[in-house]
Amino acid sequence: MSGDVVRPHFSSFRRRFSARQPVVGSFIKTPTTHATEILGALGYDFIVIDEEHAPFDRAMTDMVLLAARASNVAGIVRVSSDDPAKILSCLDCGATGVLVPHVASVEKARSVAAAARYRGGKRGYSGSARAGGYGATPVWTLVDEQDASVCAVAMIEDPEALDQIDAIAAVDGIHGLFIGRGDLTVALGAKSSADASVKDAVVRVIAAAKKAEKPVCVMVGSPAEAKDFAGLGASAFIISSDQGLMRKAAAQTITDFKTLVGTPEETHVSQH
C-alpha cells in the first residue's frame, strides 16, 4: 500500500544511532527466538541479547540473531565480558553490534574498539560465517561493510570510569555510551538511582558523550522516563525486557480477571 511506512533496514542502525536519532529496543532474557520476532514485527529498532545476565550460549545467540535479521530488527549482544573472542563470535554470527559491560578505562575502551573492527583494529577475519554471507562476500567488501555498520557501545557502570569519562567517550571506534544506572547505584552505595550521586554520574556521562559527539543509551522503566532522559540528551532507550514486558502484561491480565470474574475462592463461595 502506498501509505505504508518503509522501515529502515537493520544494517542502518549504527548510522541512525550515531546521528542521535531516537531508537528504542528491549533486552532479550529468554533463550528463544519468539520474543525477538514479536518485537521486530512491532517495529522496535533493536533488541539486546543478554549474555551477561541470562542463560545464552553461542548456539542460542546465533539463533536469536537469525530471528533478528529475519524480523528486520538490529541484533545487539550484551556480551558476558570484553574478551575479544566473545566479541568476535557475536559479530561473526551477524550481530549488528555489541554492548560491552564495565568499560572503566581508556585502555579497555580501546581494546573493545579494536576487537570490533578490521581496519585499524584486531578483529579476526572469517568470511565463512553469517556476517560474510557464508563465503559469498569478497574479503574487502566484507571488511568495508562490517567496519561501516558494526556498532560498539561501552557500558559505563563503574565509579572509576567517571574519572576518565571524557577520554573513554573520545576513543575512536566506540560509537556510544550506555549508562548502567543499576551498577552505579550499587557501586556508589546509593539508596536508589534517583539519588544525587547517581544523577551526578548520569550528567557527567551525558556531558562527555555530547563533547565527543557520541550518542547515549540508557535503560528506562517507561516511555515517560525515556522522555525525561531525552531531555537530558539521551537518544537510545532500552525499555524493559521480554520477561519484564510479559510480567507487566500478565500482572495486568490477572488483576483485570480478578476484578471482573473474581478469585477462585469467591467463585466457589458463590456456587453454594
Q: Which residues are catalytic?
A: 53
C-alpha cell read off for 198: 547517581
- Bridge partner residues of 216 (DSSP): 177
Distance CA 102, CA 78 (A): 11
Residue appearing with cell numbers 550506555: 178
Q: Which of 159, 183, 154 is nearest to 169 (CA)?
A: 154
Identity of residue 146: Q
- Bridge partner residues of 238 (DSSP): 25, 219
Taking CA atoms, 120 is separated from 110, 115, 143, 173, 235, in Å, by 11, 10, 11, 9, 28
Q: 102, 155 in Cβ contact below 8 A? A: yes
Q: 140: exposed, middle or buried (C-beta count within 10 Å: 0-12, 13-18, 19+)? A: exposed
